Chain A
Amino acid sequence: MLISKVEMKSLMLGWELPPYNSGGLGVACYYLCQAMAERNIEIDFIVPYLENHGVDFMKVVSAMPVSSEITRRAGGIYDSRKWTEEMPIDADVMPGNLHQQRAHLTAFTKHYVTRNKVDVIHAHEWLTFEAGVAAKKLTGKPLIAHVHATEFDRSGELYGNPLVHEIEETALSVADRIIAVSQLTKDLIAKHYGIPAEKIEVIHNGLTPAQLHATGDAASYQYLRAMKHLGYKVVVNVGRLTAQKGLRYLLEAAALVVEKNPKTLFLLVGSGEIRDELITRSAELGIAENIIFTGFLRGTAWRDAFAIGDLFVMPSVSEPFGLTALESLALGTPVLLSRTCGVAEVARNTLKVNFWDTRAMADNILMVLDEPALHHELLVNGQHDIAGMAWLQAAERCAEIYETSARMRGVMV
């Protein structure tokens, strides 16, 4: 156990923090940093946009004077031109497309480290990896690459973007240590990026009870409450509507479920580029009435989506961790995972199917909705699994990695 009294200063490179997040990355960064601050680690956290996050446990630094909304849209894959070229805004505050944004972040980070002393550089996700490598070159300080997902995960069943692969490969080779959010991700990094396994540490995400207060009455969903009163059951997914999340398979399974049990509703919470495709497919399958798309939610409406569910389904093609599964258990809804979810390493008492096996998925869903005993056992035992999963443990492990890395010192590249 390495417990050092030496205070360390970490330069964190991130892409988003709540409430300006589009997914789990921002949430994980936020709670990890909060716990690390409690562990007396000083953090400067660089984000690519300018917003007030209301954070007092670290210093949030803005790399570009542009709102998160514009940054996100300009960085998007599909309609970014509208935001980078057609928007009637000042040339000074143009965020540029995703590549330009990364270049901005890198330039800003280089500038920042020449004026501020840091002991360790901690980069989250490929978007910040170039900035992390540059900062390491300039300062000679250790670089920790924190992998929440790789391009292999994000691209679903396709190969992904070769440029992104290259950025990941370079940074993972240069990094002094790598943090993977699950064993699944560690194995993938070792296999596909040729990184020695000894360099990779698994640190599972945590769960902060304070972030979750189930109201129990799911007040945001009066309509669903009424339907449940009429004997309907609700299956929930919370996540971005992207290929990686496997929602296409959930729809195929939903059709099988509805055929056996028409009183089943599927609540899909989130936004994303395959939304229109999913809507079209649910109509083709003749189950459009049973599928409810809420769009992106946060706050009470987000939280209550878990609570209203009878079952949470995470059908991801690839899910390095899957924080929402923990949140669901904490909010009182048992979980069905695809076998390719890292969170299964900690939440053992969950149903597991192959994402492509839509019959098995439908079969499991039907049984949970029909058998209170199964629902009960999954919930009680699942909650037991996650009871000890505090962010403080994750922060403790990060601090250990900082200290060993600082002692060994990064080799200059």
Chain B
Amino acid sequence: MRAICLYMHVHQPFRVRPYTIFDASEDHDYFSNPESQADNHQIMRKVAEKSYLPTNAALMELIKRHPQFKLSLSLSGTVLEQMQLWAPEALESFKELVATGRVEIVAETYHHSLAFFYDREEFERQVKLHAKTILHHFGVKPRVFRNTELSYNNELAHWADKAGYKAIITEGWEPVLGWRSPNYVYRPAFTKQIRLLMKNYQLSDDVAFRFSNRAWSGWPLTAEKYVGWLNDLDADQTNVNLFMDYETFGEHQWAETGIYDFLKHMTDLFLSSKGNTFMTLSEAAKKIKPSDYIDVPQTITWADTERDLSAWVGNSMQRQAINSMYQLSDEVLATRDAGLIEDWRRLQASDHFYYMCTKWFNDGDIHAYFSPYSSPYDAFIYFMNALRDVKYRVAASQGKL
């Protein structure tokens, strides 16, 4: 028997508008920019129409057609907030999917942050906040954990095990796997109960990044070709973990590329072979026996050629920005000003640091593609100005001004 574990990540950050030092202490709204195409509201409307609604319709069609079709989703707290504000019909369609009982919701930090590596207490608060929000919208309690950007190490696995999660996920990165294949269930080193599922990045990225790339030798990617690759895998490989950004469908790969037809035909064709099925992450963790344990003392992620945190904290601007922000932790929380605390948490989204990446020469293009700013320096300047205003508000609430 072989299962596809399809997992997709849904997220939008609150992008910082071009916020100058002349705004700091005058205007505390960092996130709305109604004049611009890059306004968070505009982007949410666009993504809901291009991606969320058509993709959910396609997924619902597959759920109705195939009793074996299942998937797992993670939705950040910030994307849920934005849908609630600006695309309630998209939020409804996610709720309908979850209500079928065949879509598992995965836990993460509410604010899509890297807090685990900087401030453990803040991290736990954000995970709790996220769980509460998921329960509110979907009436479920997540049993699988994903950390922002699939960042992972032994310590995180240990934490997730103690917190009672059944599984945790990360990148299937060769330096970690060695000779082993990602197409099995593993057990993280130094843990008792929890299971580890690792992304098959070849087969995932064929869809997520290369699907419409005419320069790729696999182009055009047909359902027949792709299912052929899946069926050709060693017979004892139990699970193929296809992990990707949800926005792959309709946003990164436009509907015109044929991505939806591919998704449907691929599923039909894959399920037409006996023994092939789909599983949610927790189902795979429960049903499939772990084949080995995986030791990851260093931190890995699913991004860039290095698969480490360098896309977010690799240069000195990024480190300055993130350290300055987490240094404010105690003071911001002590204000008990909900608006201020929320603004500070929105600034924790890993996206802000990703926009500051200066790795132009190999992965730079993909960073540029996903950035609302014309350069990483602009990203740094607007972010730091917003952080200055946060400091100003902290000082004001302490009666120092």
- Decide if A359 touches B384 in the complex (CB within 8 Å): no
* Given contact pairs A349-B358, A377-B316, A363 touches B384 in the complex (Cβ within 8 A): no
Any chain A CB within 8 A of the CB of B186?
no
B interface majority secondary structure:
helix
Q: Mark B310-330, 1 if CB is under 8 A from A, else 0.
A: 000001110111000000000
- Decide if B22 touches A373 in the complex (CB within 8 Å): no
Contacts of A80 in B (CB 8 A): none
- Decide if A367 touches B385 in the complex (CB within 8 Å): yes
Nearest-neighbor residue (CB-CB) of A353 within chain B: B378
Q: How far is the CA of A320 from the CA of B385 in the complex (A)?
A: 32
* Given contact pairs A349-B358, A367-B385, A377 touches B315 in the complex (Cβ within 8 A): yes
Q: How far is the CA of A364 from the CA of B316 in the complex (A)?
A: 17
* Given contact pairs A363-B21, A363-B385, A377-B358, A371 touches B320 in the complex (Cβ within 8 A): yes
Any chain B CB within 8 A of the CB of A251?
no
Nearest-neighbor residue (CB-CB) of A367 within chain B: B381
Contacts of B378 in A (CB 8 A): 351
- Decide if B316 touches A376 in the complex (CB within 8 Å): yes
Instruction: Give chain B nearest CB distance to A187 CB in angstroms.
Output: 19
Q: How far is the CA of A372 from the CA of B380 in the complex (A)?
A: 12
- Decide if B317 touches A359 in the complex (CB within 8 Å): no
Any chain B CB within 8 A of the CB of A98?
no
- Decide if A260 touches B360 in the complex (CB within 8 Å): no
Nearest-neighbor residue (CB-CB) of B321 within chain A: A373
Q: How far is the CA of A378 from the CA of B379 in the complex (A)?
A: 13
Nearest-neighbor residue (CB-CB) of B316 within chain A: A373
Any chain A CB within 8 A of the CB of B267?
no
Any chain A CB within 8 A of the CB of B377?
yes
Any chain B CB within 8 A of the CB of A360?
yes
Q: How far is the CA of A363 from the CA of B380 in the complex (A)?
A: 12
* Given contact pairs A376-B316, A377-B315, A363 touches B358 in the complex (Cβ within 8 A): no
Q: Mark B18-49, 1 if CB is under 8 A from A, else 0.
A: 10111000000000000000000000000000
Q: How far is the CA of A138 from the CA of B319 in the complex (A)?
A: 65
Q: Which of A260, A352, A367, A376 contacts B375 (CB 8 A)?
A: A352
Q: How far is the CA of A272 from the CA of B21 in the complex (A)?
A: 33
Interface size on B, as a range, is 20 to 34
The A351-368 residues at the B interface (CB cut-off 8 A) are: 351-352, 359-360, 362-364, 366-367
Interface size on A, as a range, is 20 to 34
Any chain A CB within 8 A of the CB of B374?
yes
Contacts of A364 in B (CB 8 A): 377, 381
Q: Mark B350-365, 1 if CB is under 8 A from A, else 0.
A: 0000000010100000
Q: Mark A343-354, 1 if CB is under 8 A from B, else 0.
A: 000001101100
Q: Mark A329-353, 1 if CB is under 8 A from B, else 0.
A: 0000000000000000000110110
Instruction: Give chain B nearest CB distance to A387 CB in angstroms.
Output: 12
Any chain B CB within 8 A of the CB of A256?
yes
The B337-379 residues at the A interface (CB cut-off 8 A) are: 358, 360, 374-378
- Decide if A256 touches B22 in the complex (CB within 8 Å): yes
Q: Mark B203-216, 1 if CB is under 8 A from A, else 0.
A: 00000000000000
Q: How far is the CA of A359 from the CA of B378 in the complex (A)?
A: 14
- Decide if A374 touches B381 in the complex (CB within 8 Å): yes
Q: Which of B317, B321, B381 contacts A363 (CB 8 A)?
A: B381
Q: How far is the CA of A360 from the CA of B376 in the complex (A)?
A: 15
- Decide if B20 touches A373 in the complex (CB within 8 Å): no
- Decide if A349 touches B21 in the complex (CB within 8 Å): no
Any chain B CB within 8 A of the CB of A381?
yes
Contacts of B321 in A (CB 8 A): 373
The B368-401 residues at the A interface (CB cut-off 8 A) are: 374-378, 380-381, 384-385
Q: Mark A363-402, 1 if CB is under 8 A from B, else 0.
A: 1101100011110111001000000000000000000000
Instruction: Give chain A nearest CB distance to B367 CB in angstroms.
Output: 13
Contacts of B320 in A (CB 8 A): 371, 373
- Decide if B358 touches A373 in the complex (CB within 8 Å): no
* Given contact pairs A363-B21, A363-B381, A377-B358, A352 touches B317 in the complex (Cβ within 8 A): no
The 4 nearest A-B residue pairs measured at CB? A373-B320, A363-B20, A373-B316, A373-B317
Residues on A close to B: CB < 8 A? Answer: 256, 260, 348-349, 351-352, 359-360, 362-364, 366-367, 371-374, 376-378, 381
For the complex with contacts A349-B358, A351-B375, A381-B360, 11 further pairs of A-B residues with Cβ separation under 8 Å are A256-B22, A348-B360, A363-B20, A363-B385, A366-B21, A373-B315, A373-B316, A373-B317, A374-B377, A376-B316, A376-B317
